[in-house]
Amino acid sequence: MAGHLSSTLAMSRQFVDSIAPTFVNTTIIAGKFHPNMKSFIDNWGQVSSSIISLVVTLFLLAIYTVWKLFVAGQTYANAPIACIDPKRPKATLPKARDRFRSDAITMLQEGYRQFKGRPWYVPSPLGERLMIPSKYVEELKNAPVNEVDFVATFFEMFEGRYTTMGSRSTLHPRVAKHELNQNMAAVLDPIMEEIKDAFEEHLPTTEERKPVHVHDAIVNIVARVSSRMFGGVDLSRNKEWVDSTINFALDGFVGAQAIKKYPTFVRPFVAKFIPALTKIKRHHATAQRVIVPILHEREKAAAAGWPESHGKPPADFLQWMLDAAVGDEKQKSFIAQIQLKLSFAAIHTSAAAPTQLLYDLCSLPQHIEGLRDEVNEARASGEGELNKRTLLKLEKLDSLMKEAQRFNPLLLITFERIVTRPYTLSDGFRIPANTQIGVPTQAISMDPELYPNPEVFDPLRFYKLKKLLDGRDPGAAGKLAFASSNHESMAFGYGRHACPGRWFAGNEIKMIMVYLLENYDFRLPEGKTGLENRPPSLCFETQYLPNPQAVLEFRRRKTD
């Protein structure tokens, strides 16, 4: 019976797929009948069987939807659900799910405090998510990907079927882990050159204070800087490419949120009418138009032994992918597609940190001069150069970056996975199939047992802790660094799927902040100070974003 029903539903979906786009376009969207509808009515006898089939199809889809929503339900592990009334779980669960959209940060902190050290569920609009204690991450990080799937979570979060966000390719993680990290020193000089040029374009060049929508400015600067690392000046100075990389991420985010409002079975139909999703194809077309000719040119140069007219092989991500690609990865259209998707991972995530740091420093300006002194000392130790070694000496800046990350992480939950089949942990705890798991990273970062006075924003918290542990724990500096990944700090994920470009991102953010500190004065409007005047972050489900509307005042500093 179940098999027959599944088969019938499958055929029903195929039938609706064939007729729904026309029906939606002509009758629902346009609000009128197609001109041929009169002929359709005149020949009613010939089509009545089709109408009957349509009615039956819609009836079966209604049954299927009710079954999915009210009968099939979600299979739960033996774990409590946070933020509901345990005496009235069914009555209070819907409200908790809706609350998650705008108040996930409080819900995760409540659940973590109540059920610390054991698994628990947090309600969310698409079902309850299983929050796991960090003691489980070691065995889960090594689980087979066909049982504990990292990419599936990303596809679900950003509706990858419609936004094209996410990829199962291993090409770019391989290149980031090896070539990018090994060639870090080689990319820093071009990056600083691009930073200087981009700031000249987007921030004031005079000593007069001017208001700046800082988030927009930083996004544009980071887009250029990241593009310089991705493909050299061919990309960073190509306005069409830079604009497309910025908007690809924005359209993907907006499109994902829009499509989530609809039941799963109608999403293929409505996707065609969501403007943000229709723009995605244009961004991919731009990537093909810009990237593929560059790849052709580089292949010709390589075949000719890189003649003097072309110079040396470029030290950028595009060239490293071209060199590392195997099999189908060598297709130029594929590399262009991956390059566009990398922009999503790099630009808006790397832009969030400097934006939040500027909000913090404008709220607590007493810390600015100490950071400038540290930059001067680091430059002096490196004969004025800003390189990989001198960046490591910026320990106070690194501490500020990590404290800002603790208070304003980009994601409230990390180490997200979908358990695709029943999975039993070493202590016997059983996770049902199709369970979405994660670690409540932001809630952990507010644990007083890990961070004394966690509610106090202390820019030197990690700097002081490093100095305290110097000599006692040789690995302390690495564990407390901004880009580190460990059980107490999972902002960049953990395990083999931890962000492979996090060390580059850390250096990129430091170089941007150094340039700001050395060349600009910045403040809140009217010179206000204090964290109470700081532009608040925006929380949408698990995403914690810098305020995109805030204005700061900038002026060029006097230089000798």
Q: Is residue 151 part of a domain?
A: no
- In a 3-state reduction of DSSP, which class is residue 552? strand
111-145 pLDDT tens trace:
999 999 999 999 998 899 999 999 999 999 989 98
User: DSSP string spanning 354-397?
Assistant: HHHHHHHHHHSGGGHHHHHHHHHHHHHHTTT---HHHHHT-HHH
Specify whether 61 is located in the same domain as 185.
no
Specify whether 364 is located in the same domain as 470.
yes
Evaluate if residue 7 carries a pLDDT over 80.
no
Q: Is residue 286 part of a domain?
A: yes
Cα–Cα distance, 449 to 189 (Å, whole number): 41
Q: Is residue 185 part of a domain?
A: yes
Specify whether 174 is located in the same domain as 58.
no
- Residue 361 corresponds to which tokens in the numbers above? 């420093």
Q: Are 224 and 256 in contact (CB under 8 A)?
A: no
Specify whether 44 is located in the same domain as 181.
no
Domain containing 35: what range?
A: 2-72
Q: Is residue 205 part of a domain?
A: yes
Q: CA separation (Å) from 425 to 131, 138, 148?
A: 14, 11, 12
Of 56, 72, 88, at which residue does a domain stop?
72
Q: Label residue 82 by pLDDT band (50, 70, 90).
A: very high
Q: Is residue 36 part of a domain?
A: yes
- In a 3-state reduction of DSSP, which class is residue 401? helix
Specify whether 65 is located in the same domain as 169.
no
Residue with tokens 């509706």: 159
Specify whether 68 is located in the same domain as 172.
no
Specify whether 290 is located in the same domain as 404.
yes
Of 72, 97, 114, at which residue does a domain stop?
72
- How many distinct structural domains can be found in the chain? 2
Q: Is the pTM of this model over 0.95?
A: no
Q: Is residue 402 part of a domain?
A: yes
State yes or no: 499 annotated in a binding site: yes
Nearest Cα to 403, choosing from 500, 547, 531? 531
Specify whether 196 is located in the same domain as 64.
no
CATH number of the domain encompassing residue 256: 1.10.630.10
pLDDT at 51: 53
Q: Is residue 279 part of a domain?
A: yes
Query: Residue 472 burial by CB count (10 A; 0-12/13-18/19+): exposed, middle or buried?
Result: exposed
Evaluate if residue 512 carries a pLDDT over 90.
yes
Cα–Cα distance, 412 to 441 (Å, whole number): 6
Poorest-confidence range of 8-17, 93-102, 286-295, 354-363?
A: 8-17
- State residue 212 phi and psi, 5-degree precision: -135, 130
Of 50, 72, 94, at which residue does a domain stop?
72
Specify whether 52 is located in the same domain as 183.
no
Q: Are 164 and 284 in contact (CB under 8 A)?
A: yes
| Continuous segment of H or E residues that includes residue 352 | helix 332-363
Cα–Cα distance, 61 to 55 (Å, whole number): 10
Q: Is residue 269 part of a domain?
A: yes
pLDDT at 292: 97
| Continuous segment of H or E residues that includes residue 320 | helix 317-324
Mean pLDDT of 12-27: 36
